[in-house]
Structure formats: structure tokens, C-alpha cells
């Protein structure tokens, strides 16, 4: 029976029960009606033989009132049925449309991705817990996230152990994980996972590389294992914003991207984890032939074409729209040049839909696309997705998304999180794809390789008219004494907070850098030439993803080993003894 008809029948039953109860209370003297009402079970419908009643009031008006109640409730239940069905858990059999099935305001699991576990037909979520247990699972039948405790019903993670594990990656500290043993079971300290997890289909386990540790989760027993590999990417012990993807062809997990790594380039070029040998090694492909480093993109393995797909991402200064393929047979990356690509994205969720043989990608701008590896084609598809992004306050937006595909239910799950954990709203959608009818009427994208700057300072200064020093010097000579005159350069920089400005007397420039604490967080050094009346920058400003306005500088450094922006109020001064600051 269809969910809507079930709701209508239940509504009619409820209306009849309520009406009979009301009439019985009003006509308590009618023993026949009282006996009939008392014998009814909840939700039961019985024929009311009003001819047996002795009251004209009921005979003339009671039945009409009761039937009006029935019809009102039936109409209401007919309209509300889809929403009641979704709230209860099961998903309406709609295709090519995102259906929101769960939403809650919680700080738990901020910046943590989900993965599908076919062994138990569950979606897994692990990470920073706050008010929830550290492990949660989602099933399509329940329609909500539930705490997933092992059989021994472990208590909440010990507070001291949690405090001792540095789990905050935005307070100038590394993202670290360590294990404790409780009731004979190992438990990892919690941390944001980003996309650094995948599912090992050969061993039926979820695999993680988070906080410098390689570990796994067994879905059937709900227990953890610290794998302690023989070799690990040591410089990536504090890695965040990266992606991990299982390669079933080679029985390896492929790690790529992210930031805060303590190497010269500040991220992870491709590393391979050999699941059988339990060891890591770097990919032997030269770095210049691999994709440029980027953050917060989920990769997915196409089992039909035996490759990993990578799209877009955040270079800390730009948003990308490039498409890369990792061929499992050759263990080599290669850039694709499709005719049309989705718009540049700073973050995205991605999964492989086996029933359609397509990659599904959800970006942070409410768009959903599919990618056909065989024909090298991106297609925007319908979905009606509303991630709730707010331009005036990104902290209240759904800023971090991840996708996973249930092969049993043939459904894609999209998990969205707020971009600031103190404003976190966790929302869950489900989507059933029918590629033949999914095409969006607006196939608007960009040429492959296009990008957008994260901040508009750099392109604004680059596009300014060239300086005219002669005219500028004449203007300086003509300035009136003891009078403030606005310089009005053709382009300027964003005002910084908690920062420092100083004078380079050798070059006649104002040096302006630093900032943070709820303000501008770009790591640029801005220069104002008094003689040219022009602002310039040493490089395009880089910003740590999701850490805009942090009170403390992020850990490590940005790509190309540039320091992050941090509080520099009254801490930067030019010295006359050398030409350095």
C-alpha cells in the first residue's frame, strides 16, 4: 500500500475515534453508543448504527459533524503525507530529486565525512563527538542518525583522554589521534576526518588516515583496530582537508591533497597504502605530473572504468574546475579536457553510482552533476538541492559536504555540515538517480581548467590601470601643508583587523600584513607605493579553509611554505639597519 493512502486511512480512523469520543462525552446517557465507543481499539473503524440511539440531536447533527471531521482530517493527511513519510524514515519513491530526511542542530561530527558500509547496509559517521557518541550510523529504513555503540555499550569517551588528544586543527595545534583501551577494546581519540576515510571492500572495513594514524572500523563488531603500518607519510601526520579512496584493482588506498603537512609544499601528493602489506609508500609519478594540491574534494572510484575521479577543489587561493583521472591499471594521474565542466568549487562531495555507471558530484552551490568517464562528459542533473548557503554569514551555511552510495538501496546519501562547528546544522538528503531522465534544462558550466580567486584583492589589483609616477609625484608636490588628503588609488586592499602597518623607508612603501580574529585572514603582504599611489601584493592571498577569522593562527603553513595570517598587532616593524623586515 502506498504511504499516502496509509496516512489517509490512519487519518480517517483517528477522526472517527475522536468524533465518537466527543459525541460519547456529550451523550453519556446513550448506553449503546458508550458501549460501542469503549469497545473500539485505537485506529479501528466500526459502523455506527444511529438508529439504535434515542437522541434526535445525534441522529440529526452528530453524524454530519463526524463525517465533516473525517473529511477534514483525510484532506490534511493527504497533503501532509509526503512530509510525514519523510520524517518517519522511509523515502518516497521519487527519482532525480534530493529528499531531506534528517536535520539537527549539533556540533557533533563537524567536518567529518560519511562512508557506506555494505556489510551492514549502514552509512558511518565518526569524529568529534561533543553531545553525541563518537560513532553514528544511518540506515535508510530509520531515516536518522543513531549512536552506534558496540555490544559492551561503551560509555562516552573519557574527558581527560579527549582533552589530551589535540583535536582542534584551528588553534595553532596539529590534528592528532591516539588510541586508548577501555573494556579490552581500542578507541581512537576523536578528530575531524574531512574526506580522509574510505571503505575497504575486500575486508569489509572502513579505513581512516587521520591525525597521523592509520586505523580501521569493523562494521559487524563495531570495533576499532590501530593498524600501525610499517611505514607512514611522516610529514603528513597533521594532514587535514585531504581525500582517501580505496582502489580495489590494486588493493590500495590512495591519499591525495589536503594541507597543514610539514613538508615544503604543505600538502600530500599521492601516497598509496598497501592493505595487504600494511605499509605506505609515495606514488612514483613525478609531482609536476600529478594534480595540483587542493583541499576538501572527495574522490571516488569508478569500478566500471577502473579509475579514481578528482574534480575541483580549494588551492587556498583559488577554486578549481579541473578534472583528473587516476588510472588504477597504470597508477598514473592524467588531466581530462571535457567540453564542459561544472563551475569552480571550493569543496564537493562525490560518489560512484554503480547502477548507472556514473560519478555523482555535489558542489557547495546547490548543483549536482554526473561524470561519464568513458565518454569524458559532465552533465548537470536535476535535484532541487538547497544547502542553505548564506552570503551574509557563511558560518550558518552548509559548507562541508560528503556523499556515499548504497548499492543495496540504489540511493546516494548527501551529508551537509555547517562551515563553523558552533553554528553547525547537520542535514541529510537521499537521491535516486535515473540518468535517462535526470538532465537539467540548464547545462551551464565552464571551460575545463577555469578557476576563481577565493578573494578578490589579487584580481582587483592586477586589473588596475598602470601607475603614472610622474603624475603622482606632481600631485605629492602640490599637497597643501598640514592637511589630510585622500590618496584614492585606483584599487585598494581589504581592511585588515588585529594587524600591523609599517614603513619601508628604503623603497618608500607602506607594508600591511597579518590579521584574523573575525576579520580578514589572507596571508598576503600588501605594499603601498607612495610615489606610484598604487597597492600591490607579493602573491595571491591564501586562506586556511573553514578557518576564516580564527583567534589563533592555523597550524603549519600554507602551500609553498608560506606562513598563515595571524595576529600581528604591534608586532611588525621595519629596521633601518638592513633591507629586511
Q: Could you tell me whether strands 197-200 and 205-210 are parallel, antiparallel, or unpaired per DSSP bridges?
A: antiparallel
Percentage above 70 pLDDT, the chain: 74
Residue 140 is predicted with a pLDDT of 95
Domains and CATH numbers, the chain: 3-88 (no CATH), 99-453 (2.120.10.80), 457-561 (no CATH)
**Alpha-helix residue ranges (DSSP H) falling in 27-62:** 31-39, 56-57
Distances, alpha carbon 495 to alpha carbons 119, 124, 264, 374, 574, in Å: 53, 43, 30, 48, 20
Is residue 426 a contact partner of residue 100, using CB atoms and an 8 Å limit?
Answer: no
Is the per-residue pLDDT at 283 higher than 60?
A: yes
pLDDT at residue 555 is higher than 90:
no
| CA dist list (Å): 316 to 87, 209, 258, 452, 523 | 38, 22, 10, 11, 10
Nearest to residue 272, comparing CAs of 285, 259, 282? 282
Question: Which of these, 200, 211, 221, lies nearest to 115 by C-alpha position?
Answer: 200
pLDDT tens, position by position, 113-140: 999 999 999 999 998 766 788 899 999 9
Q: Whose grid coordinates read 609508500? A: 281
Structure-block grid coordinates of residue 43: 485506529
Q: What is the pLDDT of residues 378-426, one digit of tens each?
A: 999 999 887 765 555 444 456 789 999 999 999 999 998 865 545 567 8
* Residue 55 reports pLDDT greater than 50: no
51 DSSP assignment: G
**Of 44-58, 160-174, 329-343, 530-544, which range is least confident?**
44-58
Confidence of residue 303 (pLDDT cuts 50, 70, 90): very high
Q: Is the pTM of this model over 0.85?
A: no
Give yes or no for residue 4 having a pLDDT over 80: no
Taking the C-alpha atoms of residue 416 and residue 425, their distance in angstroms, rounded to an integer, is 8
User: What secondary structure, in 3-state letters, does 148-172 show?
Assistant: CCCCCCCCCCCHHHHHHCCCCCCCC
pLDDT tens for each residue of 556-574? 899 988 888 877 777 777 7
- Buried-exposed string 91-100: b where 16+ CB fall within 10 A, e elsewhere: bbeeebbbbb
Q: What is the pLDDT of residues 201-239, one digit of tens each?
A: 999 999 999 999 999 999 999 999 999 999 999 999 999
CB-side exposure of 329: number of CA atoms within 13 Å? 5
**Residue 427 three-state SS:** strand
86: helix, strand or coil:
helix
pLDDT band for 457, please (50, 70, 90 cuts): confident
Q: Which pLDDT score is estimated for 307?
A: 98
Residue 554: its pLDDT value, please?
79
Amino acid at each position: 500500500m502506498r504511504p499516502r493512502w496509509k496516512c489517509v486511512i490512519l487519518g480517517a480512523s483517528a477522526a472517527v475515534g475522536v468524533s465518537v469520543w466527543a459525541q460519547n462525552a456529550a451523550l453519556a446517557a446513550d448506553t449503546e453508543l458508550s458501549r460501542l465507543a469503549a469497545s473500539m481499539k485505537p485506529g479501528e473503524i466500526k459502523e455506527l448504527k444511529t438508529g439504535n440511539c434515542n437522541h434526535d440531536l445525534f441522529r440529526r447533527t452528530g453524524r454530519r459533524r463526524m463525517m465533516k471531521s473525517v473529511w477534514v482530517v483525510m484532506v490534511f493527511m493527504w497533503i501532509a503525507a509526503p512530509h510525514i513519510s519523510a520524517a518517519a524514515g522511509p523515502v518516497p519513491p521519487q527519482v532525480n530529486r534530493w529528499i531531506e530526511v534528517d536535520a539537527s542542530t549539533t556540533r557533533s561530527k563537524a567536518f567529518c565525512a560519511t562512508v557506506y558500509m555494505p556489510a551492514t547496509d549502514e552509512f558511518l559517521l565518526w569524529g568529534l563527538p561533543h553531545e553525541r557518541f563518537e560513532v553514528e550510523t544511518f540506515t535508510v529504513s530509520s531515516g536518522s542518525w543513531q549512536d552506534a555503540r558496540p555490544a559492551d555499550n561503551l560509555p562516552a569517551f573519557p574527558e581527560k583522554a579527549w582533552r589530551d588528544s589535540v583535536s582542534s586543527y584551528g588553534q595553532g595545534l596539529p590534528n592528532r589521534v591516539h588510541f586508548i583501551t577501555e573494556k579490552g577494546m581500542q578507541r581512537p581519540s576523536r578528530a575531524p576526518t574531512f574526506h580522509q576515510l574510505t571503505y575497504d571492500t575486500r575486508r569489509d572495513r572502513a579505513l581512516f588516515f587521520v591525525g597521523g594514524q592509520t586505523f580501521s572500523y569493523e562494521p559487524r563488531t563495531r570495533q576499532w583496530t590501530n593498524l600501525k603500518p610499517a611505514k607512514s607519510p611522516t610529514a603528513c601526520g597533521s594532514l587535514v582537508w585531504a581525500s582517501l579512496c580505496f582502489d580495489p584493482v590494486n588493493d590500495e588506498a590512495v591519499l591525495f591533497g589536503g594541507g597543514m603537512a610539514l613538508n615544503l609544499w604543505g600538502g600530500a601528493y599521492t601516497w598509496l597504502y598497501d592493505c595487504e602489506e600494511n605499509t605506505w609508500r609515495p606514488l612514483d609519478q613525478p609531482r609536476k605530473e600529478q594534480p595540483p594540491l587542493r583541499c576538501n574534494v572527495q574522490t571516488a572510484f569508478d569500478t566500471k572504468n577502473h579509475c579514481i575521479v578528482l574534480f575541483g577543489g580549494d588551492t587556498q587561493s583559488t577554486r578549481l574546475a579541473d578534472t583528473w583521472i587516476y588510472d588504477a591499471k597504470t597508477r598514473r594521474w592524467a588531466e581530462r579536457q571535457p567540453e564542459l565542466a561544472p563551475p569552480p568549487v571550493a569543496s564537493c562531495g562525490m560518489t560512484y553510482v554503480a547502477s548507472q555507471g556514473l560519478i555523482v558530484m555535489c558542489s557547495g552551490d546547490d548543483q549536482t552533476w554526473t561524470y561519464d568517464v568513458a565518454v569524458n562528459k559532465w552533465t548537470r542533473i536535476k535535484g532541487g538541492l538547497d544547502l542553505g548557503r548564506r552570503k551574509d554569514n557563511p558560518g550558518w551555511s552548509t559548507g562541508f559536504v560528503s556523499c556515499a552510495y548504497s548499492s543495496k538501496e540504489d540511493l546516494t546519501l548527501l551529508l551537509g555540515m555547517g562551515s563553523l562547528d558552533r553554528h553547525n546544522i547537520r542535514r541529510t538528503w537521499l537521491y535516486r538517480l535515473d540518468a535517462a531522465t535526470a538532465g537539467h534544462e540548464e547545462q551551464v558550466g565552464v571551460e575545463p581548467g577555469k578557476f576563481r580567486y577565493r578573494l578578490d584583492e589579487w584580481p582587483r589589483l592586477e586589473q588596475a590601470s598602470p601607475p603614472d609616477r610622474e603624475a603622482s609625484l606632481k600631485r605629492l608636490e602640490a599637497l597643501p601643508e598640514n592637511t589630510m588628503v585622500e590618496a584614492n588609488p585606483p584599487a585598494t586592499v581589504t581592511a585588515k583587523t588585529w594587524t600591523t602597518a609599517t614603513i619601508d623607508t628604503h623603497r618608500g612603501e607602506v607594508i600591511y600584513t597579518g590579521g584574523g580574529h573575525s576579520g580578514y585572514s589572507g596571508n598576503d603582504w600588501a605594499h603601498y607605493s607612495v610615489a606610484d599611489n598604487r597597492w600591490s601584493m607579493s602573491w595571491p592571498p591564501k586562506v586556511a579553509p573553514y578557518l576564516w577569522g580564527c583567534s589563533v593562527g592555523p597550524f603549519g603553513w600554507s602551500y609553498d611554505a608560506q606562513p598563515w595570517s595571524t595576529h600581528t598587532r604591534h608586532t611588525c616593524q621595519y629596521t633601518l639597519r638592513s633591507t629586511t623586515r
